[in-house]
């Protein structure tokens, strides 16, 4: 089934666009047993993130359809593997999940980014779960942030993050049926 990739700058309107597209798809393609699912990867680590999460929740609650929200800040592959035929799914967002993957294990002393092969394994598992999902009758909207207008960072960890995210974006677009970039509330369809 279709994968729709949506990217753009922070507060560009990408989440709103993705939510509206998912709702429209859900309402026009409704099948018995179909669920409208929001997979949230955000973790409220500070006041700003709490506000962003709250704003996204309020936006969904104000809509005329009912979303099933699944919190998946770390084990996104497990969540993807449990989706069923007919589901319309919005994952918001890849950048937040990748940040979580980088620093998972920090609280116990060794974040994933410091463990050889850890990030590569997480990406491999996620890609396999997405590929398996595409074999089901699930419509999958994927949201991510665009971080590539800046010159390379001197901080190796930040640059590694940006490089990994860029490769992940390229992979998503290569398998996507549609790809959009949103800036200043303006939608550009690339694929």
Structure tokens at 129: 């779960």
In this structure, what are the phi and psi dihedrals at residue 3, rounded to the nearest 5 degrees?
-120, 125
pLDDT of residue 57: 55
* Mean pLDDT across the chain: 86
Question: Which residue, 148, 143, 51, is CA-closest to 93?
Answer: 143
CATH topology of domain 3-189: Rossmann fold (3.40.50)
Structure tokens at 10: 């922070």
pLDDT in tens, 113-148: 999 999 999 999 999 999 999 999 899 999 999 877
Over pLDDT 90: what percentage of the chain?
Answer: 55
Q: What is the mean pLDDT of residues 149-161?
A: 80
pLDDT in tens, 71-125: 888 889 999 999 998 899 999 999 999 999 999 888 788 999 999 999 999 999 9
Q: Which residues pair with 180 in a beta bridge?
A: 6, 189
Assess contact for 6 and 18: CB atoms under 8 A. yes
Rounded distance between C-alpha atoms, residue 186 and residue 17, angstroms: 10
Answer whether residue 65 shows pLDDT above 80. no
Answer whether residue 33 shows pLDDT above 90. no
């Amino acid at each position: 089934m279709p994968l729709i990739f949506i990217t753009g700058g922070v507060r560009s309107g990408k989440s709103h666009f993705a939510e509206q597209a998912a709702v429209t798809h859900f309402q026009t393609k409704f099948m018995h047993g179909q669920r409208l699912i929001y997979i949230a990867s955000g973790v409220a680590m500070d006041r700003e993130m709490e506000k962003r999460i709250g704003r996204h929740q309020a936006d969904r609650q104000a809509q005329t359809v009912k979303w099933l929200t699944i919190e998946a800040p770390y084990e996104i592959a497990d969540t993807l593997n449990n989706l069923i035929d007919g589901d319309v799914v919005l994952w918001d967002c890849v950048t937040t999940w990748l940040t979580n993957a980088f620093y998972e294990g920090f609280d116990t002393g060794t974040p994933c980014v410091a463990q050889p092969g850890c990030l590569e394994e997480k990406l491999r598992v996620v890609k396999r779960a997405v590929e398996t999902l595409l074999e089901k009758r699930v419509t999958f909207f994927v949201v991510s942030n665009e971080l590539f207008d800046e010159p390379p960072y001197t901080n190796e960890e930040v640059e590694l993050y940006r490089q990994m995210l860029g490769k992940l974006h390229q992979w998503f677009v290569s398998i996507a049926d549609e790809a959009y970039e949103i800036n200043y509330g303006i939608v550009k369809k690339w694929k």
